[in-house]
A and B are shown apart, each in its own frame.
Chain A
Amino acid sequence: AQKVTQAQTEISVVEKEDVTLDCVYETRDTTYYLFWYKQPPSGELVFLIRRNSFDEQNEISGRYSWNFQKSTSSFNFTITASQVVDSAVYFCALSEKGGTSYGKLTFGQGTILTVHP
């Protein structure tokens, strides 16, 4: 069975601090996809990144960066120089299989990030 664990339930930081959100996953599939989503108070899930199991390259997008380590089954997300607008719930998710079906995602419990001015 697939499982995603986000050990940090809540994180509170002050603006401009760097913050890392941890994500550990379990799957028996050799081909899988990992995702991060942001859920602001409005409720809509905003897609941040997708990574497939064959691509362990780290990725940077502006203040966001992701560290994928297959050896430890982790896909961590770092926000550099956090801002108040980064306050949201962040979800890590795993797709059941690669191929054509990405629709079934297994989500972690989410990490509530609060950035104080």
Chain B
Amino acid sequence: KAGVTQTPRYLIKTRGQQVTLSCSPISGHRSVSWYQQTPGQGLQFLFEYFSETQRNKGNFPGRFSGRQFSNSRSEMNVSTLELGDSALYLCASSFSAGSSYEQYFGPGTRLTVT
């Protein structure tokens, strides 16, 4: 079974630009969550999508947005990039049914804003 894939793996952008990151969950997983990891703030929840609907949202400004497609693939977008947006962005896909539960993270996209 293929794991969670994230593209691109590395990205360098300039302040003010926008960026789109992609996440393909494990086949059969309908939930996709996004996290931002920085040395100062640690791992912080951005949002969660389930069946194309945003189910949860973290405390991030509106510049951060996401969506999920019918095939469960998800994208997150950051507009008007700031230096502080430099981080590792991790995507997780999960599956839950009764007592069965799986959650796996992708390798992440490392975004550098200059």
Contact = CB atoms under 8 A, between A and B. Distances in A.
B105 A104 contact: no
Q: Which of B33, B43, B58 has the most chain A CB atoms closer than 10 A to its own CB? A: B43
Given A91-B43, A109-B42, A104 B33 contact: yes
B56 A101 contact: yes
Nearest to B105: A45
Interface of A: 33, 35, 37, 42-47, 50, 91, 93, 96, 100-110
A104 to B, nearest CB: 4
Contacts of A35: 103
A102 B42 contact: no
Given A45-B90, A103-B31, A109-B42, A96 B108 contact: no
Contacts of B96: 100, 102
Interface string B18-37: 00000000000001110100
B64 interface: no
B45 A44 contact: no
Interface of B: 31-33, 35, 42-45, 48, 50, 55-56, 58, 88, 90, 92, 94, 96, 101-108, 110
Q: Rank and list the top 9 A-B pairs by shortest CB-CB distance, nearest first.
A: A103-B48, A45-B105, A103-B33, A107-B43, A104-B56, A44-B107, A43-B108, A104-B45, A103-B31
Is the contact region of chain A dominated by helix, strand, or loop, or is it mixed?
loop
A49 to B, nearest CB: 11
A103 B42 contact: no
A106 B105 contact: no
Nearest to A95: B103
A44 B105 contact: yes
A90 B43 CA distance: 12
A47 B110 contact: no
A103 B56 contact: yes
A59 B102 CA distance: 17
Given A91-B43, A96-B56, A110-B42, A102 B106 contact: no
B92 A50 contact: no
